[in-house]
Structure 1
Amino acid sequence: MNEAISRETARVVLVDPADRVLLYRGRLLQVESRPYAWFTPGGGVDPGESARQAAARELREEIGHVVAPEALGPVVATSAGGWSLDGQRFHSHDSFFVLRVDGLEVDTSGMDAEERASTDRFRWWSVPELTAGLGGEQVVPTGLGLVVARAVAGDVPAAPVVLPWHLTDAGQQVGTIQAP
């Protein structure tokens, strides 16, 4: 297999007035027993882009929500690890921002063909649902519910919380979210 490509990503935890977070269900690479997981909107940081700029661009492309990069606060969490696609290995470093939104309607018309093919639904989830593990469904990254619970409470960490990666080196899924 090829050497892993390093990939910086910027992801956004969108919180609505009811303190729910928007996640999409997408294909979980490398895990045949559970091919899908729930993710926050976001994606790769392009050359010359800051993480905030990438997060704002990804929101526009993936869900049709336009926001200025400056509207995103500090990075509240990170997660890093490996995955593969079509024989190519990647090592991602995910940075998570929190953004409160009002009346957001998801518009996927800006998604590319690959994103459309790997995403099958969006849903708003409550903090108790996230921390309970969404009825056994995988949430990426593991522990996201605890970060959302802190954000909803107005507790912005002084330094980003480091969340575990969701796959082992062998590509196997690791634990689901545990209630506090």
Structure 2
Amino acid sequence: MLLLRYDENGGFWATPGGSLEPGEDHSSAAAREVREELGVNGVELGPELATRSSDHLVAGRPVRQVERYYVARVHAGMVRPEAATQPDEIRGWRWWSLAELAASDQTVYPVGLSDLVVGYLRDGAPETPVELAS
């Protein structure tokens, strides 16, 4: 899996993603974010595996964040961070094996990502997206 490194909040790894633009649906936003953050054009999204919602403050104002997680298979040669147009404080990126991810003591979001992907590879996509813990 390809994860992105961020330094805020003590540092963590996370999947590509970001906010919806006005009038945009979640799958279009996911494809746009992959293009903007990794320079990958024409990514084809697979099934939606999971969702996660959380409430927190942004600039002192309450915000409800809703995340949706999709499968996207991308060849390593397609990833071109130098072509990213919105690097969004990304400090690095790395391909992880499932074993590395499961054994890591580093913070990875969403929590349970390794189990989610193992379940998908073993059983296929869930009928309805799994609700992940906040």
2:67 maps to what in 1?
Answer: 94
2:26 maps to what in 1?
Answer: 51
For residue 90 of structure 1, report the CA deviation from its aligned partner: 2.0
CA deviations on 1:32-85 (whole Å, 9 max, x unpaired) are xxx2111100111112111111111111111011125xx312311011112334
Partner secondary structure for residue 18 of structure 2? strand
Q: Structure 1: which 5+ residue stretches go unaligned? A: 1-20, 166-180
- Give the residue type in structure 2 aligned to 1:93: V
8 Å contact kept, 2:51–2:68? yes
Structure 2 CA distance for aligned equivalents of residues 89 and 129 of structure 1: 35
For residue 162 of structure 1, report the CA deviation from its aligned partner: 1.2
Find 1:131's aligned residue among 72, 78, 102: 102
Structure 2 length normalisation: TM-score? Answer: 0.87
RMSD of aligned alpha carbons: 1.8
Q: Where do 1:23-102 residues align within 5 Å?
A: 23-28=3-8, 31=9, 35-67=10-42, 71-102=44-75
CA shift in 2, pair 1:27/1:92, >3 Å: farther
Instruction: Pick 1 or 2: higher relative contact order, CA cutoff 8 A, min separation 6.
Output: 2
CA deviations on 1:94-113 (whole Å, 9 max, x unpaired) are 0000011223323253115x
CA shift in 2, pair 1:27/1:83, >3 Å: farther
8 Å contact kept, 1:144–1:163? no
8 Å contact kept, 1:83–1:89? yes
Total equivalences in the alignment: 132
8 Å contact kept, 1:64–1:106? yes
8 Å contact kept, 1:76–1:97? yes
Structure 1 length normalisation: TM-score? Answer: 0.66
For residue 129 of structure 1, report the CA deviation from its aligned partner: 1.7
Q: Which has the higher helix share?
A: 2
Q: Moved runs in structure 1, 4+ residues, more than 6 A?
A: none
